[in-house]
Amino acid sequence: MHQIVQCVPNFSEGLDQATVDKITAPFASQEGIKLLDIQTDADHNRMVVTVLGPAPAVKKAVLEAMARAVELIDMTRHKGQHPRMGAVDVVPFIPIKEMDMADAVALAKAVAAEAADALGLPIFLYEQAASAPHRVNLAAVRKGQFEGMPEKLKDPQWRPDFGPARIHPTAGVTAVGARAPLVAFNVNLDTGRIEIADTIARRVRHIGGGLRYCKAMGVALEDRGQVQVSMNMTDFSRTSLYQAVELIRIEARRYGVSVAGSEVVGLVPMQALVDCAAYYMGLEQFSMTQVLETHLL
Amino acid sequence: MHQIVQCVPNFSEGLDQATVDKITAPFASQEGIKLLDIQTDADHNRMVVTVLGPAPAVKKAVLEAMARAVELIDMTRHKGQHPRMGAVDVVPFIPIKEMDMADAVALAKAVAAEAADALGLPIFLYEQAASAPHRVNLAAVRKGQFEGMPEKLKDPQWRPDFGPARIHPTAGVTAVGARAPLVAFNVNLDTGRIEIADTIARRVRHIGGGLRYCKAMGVALEDRGQVQVSMNMTDFSRTSLYQAVELIRIEARRYGVSVAGSEVVGLVPMQALVDCAAYYMGLEQFSMTQVLETHLL
């Protein structure tokens, strides 16, 4: 059985389609890799690529795409609303099958070492691959952005894990890491009052005292006259989707508001949904090997 | 993409391991096939084999296993508690991936035609492959069992679909068909009173006025002091597992009894569980392509 990894590299180009095509070509052409999504955002001037495949094939294609991005993107001319610090801004690896987090960390470190060496790029390890606690959070690593990096890298606290202790003149700095699969999960409320979604979001999210692996904010759904608690579930194996739904339901109750529905945005691992079915139906002793399709993987 | 089919042939041998091994060997040795389960039952003197794989490979292996069973099993000496009419008693094909019911019916007919021709075996098509409404139900086809078949086959209503209109002297008669995946699903109640499980089973099952694709009976779980509504969900895409759970819950309420839990026995298609998660969480516009693992199939 192959080790299957997901990789969601973010590149600082979301406007020029020719450049987008050149950078993503290694994913499209590499044998065995599924190129699941290329999401470009003009306002962010950024693209988010989602690929899935055997670890060696993903590694090879990612390194090639990183080289192309370093060659093609000039950060000294980059403008965009999303925080960014490099041409290859961030490269997270997510263990999917026949591999655990330690394997994903090892893969992240190998890619970081090779890319730093081949491209002369300073690279920080982050999230599960981080070399120190203050480097775990990507926002902390990226703070200062491209323009602030020359100064930041002089601080011994921010010496890169790989590559030179100075920015690449046009490609800046890159973060490579490993993390659990993230599920974008939203719960809709049958009210148009945004302050209720905001308040509930603050109650259910980790930072506000809520669920450990849940980030949340309130969003208005103007056309539906509803509001939404929009969440990133950062480790569904520890904080389940049903916990978020039920916690939102009981919080909504104090406003006389009900849960109108929910949605998963993008991909979700099978286990995350099976956990929910198992909870609501009280399934006992269920094993993922009972899911017929696992025998086809 | 390959057409993936599941096949669950039942053979009339559950005692002699050497014979079991010889009959199942074609499944174990055929490239690409997953031999998921061999369940032998001494009281029934019967085995149920579960295999999964590309349609051409499954077809080839099933035909070989059928030939071995016809050669090795002598129905004139067969005794067992389970109703049976042939050495190869019944061969259902279940469409799993990249194929629909029409494809499974076509496969069943092709296998029936080849087996009848090669083995001189009379074969009835049943369930979705049936050639007439009175042949849909396997119990109706098998009525009379091995001993009654010589007489039954003289009736024009029961002329076999393939092969001679007389039994094979030692292998009897075979039924080949196509059906939806079946999910064995049980709901446990926090009472020891079997009459409650029996009554609820009668209320939720199709034959008693309940759910269209649900067969059910009450079972006592002696060691737990609980009872169970034991079900076969014969088409989860039309009668969902959550419908059975919730219908049992509301029926149990009138006895002051609660649902204690549930269990899936054996395999369950991913879709059946995703449907339940989607119902309980009110998931809107969810597509199976959002399940990450579907991109690995």
pLDDT in tens, A198-220: 999 999 999 999 999 999 999 99
pLDDT above 70: residue B136: yes
**What gap in Å lies between CA B54 and CA B32, rounded to an integer?**
7
pLDDT value for B170: 98
Distance from C-alpha of B255 to C-alpha of A250, rounded to nearest angstrom: 28
Q: Which DSSP helix (H) or strand (E) runs through B95?
A: strand B88-97
The pLDDT tens digits for A113-152 are 999 999 999 999 999 999 999 999 999 999 999 999 999 9
pLDDT digits (tens, 9 = 90+) for A5-38: 999 999 999 999 999 999 999 999 988 899 999 9
The answer to whether the beta carbons of residues A293 and B269 sit under 8 Å apart is: yes
pLDDT digits (tens, 9 = 90+) for B210-228: 999 999 999 999 889 999 9
How far is the alpha carbon of B268 from chain A, nearest alpha carbon, in Å? 5
A83 pLDDT band, cuts 50/70/90, is very high
What does the pLDDT read at residue B296?
84
Closest chain A C-alpha to B51 CA, distance in angstroms: 10
Indicate where chain B has its CATH 3.30.70.670 domain(s): 183-292
Q: How far is CA B231 from CA B92, B196, B247, in A?
A: 19, 15, 13
Candidate from A264, A274, A296 with C-beta closest to B290 = A264
Task: Give CA–CA dist B85/A214, Å, rounded.
Answer: 58
Residue B231, token pair as written in the block: 């079900």
**Dist. CA A206–CA A218, nearest whole Å:** 15
Name residue B267's amino acid.
Answer: L
Asked whether the predicted pLDDT for residue B242 surpasses 80, the reply is yes
Position B267 pLDDT exceeds 90: yes
Please list every residue in chain B whose beta carbon sits closer than 8 Å to the beta carbon of residue A259.
282
**The predicted structure's pLDDT at residue B81:** 87
Would the CB atoms of A280 and B188 count as touching at under 8 Å?
no
Confidence of residue A297 (pLDDT cuts 50, 70, 90): confident
SS3 A11: strand
Beta-bridge mates of residue A53: A5
- pLDDT of B110 > 70? The answer is yes
Partnered with residue A263 across adjacent β-strands are A186
Which residues, other chains included, contact B100 with Cβ-Cβ below 8 Å and sequence gap of 6+? none
**B36: nearest CA partner in chain A:** A295
Query: Which CATH code fits B4-178?
Result: 3.30.990.10
Q: Tell which residue, B200, B175, B182, has the closest CA to residue B190.
A: B200
Window from A68-72, A86-90, B35-39, B130-134 with minimum mean pLDDT: B35-39
Residue pointed to by tokens 């591999």: A99
Dihedral in degrees, nearest 10, Cα atoms A3, B277, B295, A23:
-90
- Please name the member of A262, A269, A280 whose beta carbon is closest to the beta carbon of B293: A269
Q: How confident is the model at residue B2 (pLDDT cuts 50, 70, 90)?
A: confident
B206 included as an active-site residue: no
Query: What SS3 class is residue B165?
Result: coil
Tell me, letter by letter, the H, E, C secondary structure of A170-230. CCECEEEEECCCCEEEEEEECCCCHHHHHHHHHHHCHHHCCCCCEEEEEEEEHHHCEEEEE
The amino acid that residue B9 corresponds to is P
B290 and A CB contact within 8 Å: yes
* Residue in this structure with the two tokens 């369940």, named with its chain if needed: B39
Q: Between chains, do B283 and A264 touch, taking CB under 8 Å as contact?
A: yes
Whether A95 has its CB under 8 Å from any CB of chain B: the answer is no
- Residue A119 and residue A73: Cα distance in Å, rounded? 13
The pLDDT-based confidence of B1 (bands split at 50, 70, 90) is: low
Instruction: Share the mean pLDDT of chain A.
Output: 96
Q: Which amino acid appears at position A131 of this protein? A: S
pLDDT tens digits, B45-89: 999 999 999 999 999 999 999 999 999 999 999 999 899 999 999
Query: What span, in angstroms and rounded, lies between the C-alpha atoms of A114 and B119?
Result: 63
CATH for the stretch B183-292: 3.30.70.670
Q: Which residues contact A121 (CB under 8 A, 6 or more apart)?
A: A66, A70, A86, A88, A115, A163, A168, A171, A173, A174
Any chain B CB within 8 A of the CB of A36? yes
- Residue A296 confidence (pLDDT): 84
Is the backbone of residue A268 left (phi > 0), alpha (psi -120 to 50) or beta? beta
Q: Provide the pLDDT for residue A38.
A: 94
Q: Which residues on B lie below 8 Å from A266 (Cβ)? A: 290
pLDDT band of A1, cuts 50, 70, 90? low
Whether residue A23 contacts residue A60, with contact meaning beta carbons closer than 8 Å, is answered with no
Q: Give the best residue of A33, A190, A281 to mutate against chain B (max B CB count within 10 A).
A: A281
Helix/strand/coil for A36: strand
Q: What is the pLDDT of residues B152-192, one digit of tens each?
A: 999 999 999 999 999 999 999 999 999 999 999 999 999 99
Give percent of chain A with pLDDT exceeding 90. Answer: 93
Percent of chain B with pLDDT over 70: 100
**Hey, are the CB atoms on B262 and A281 less than 8 Å from each other?**
yes
Among all chains, which residue has been given the structure tokens 């390890």?
A125
Residues of chain A with CATH 3.30.990.10: 4-178
Residue type, B122: P
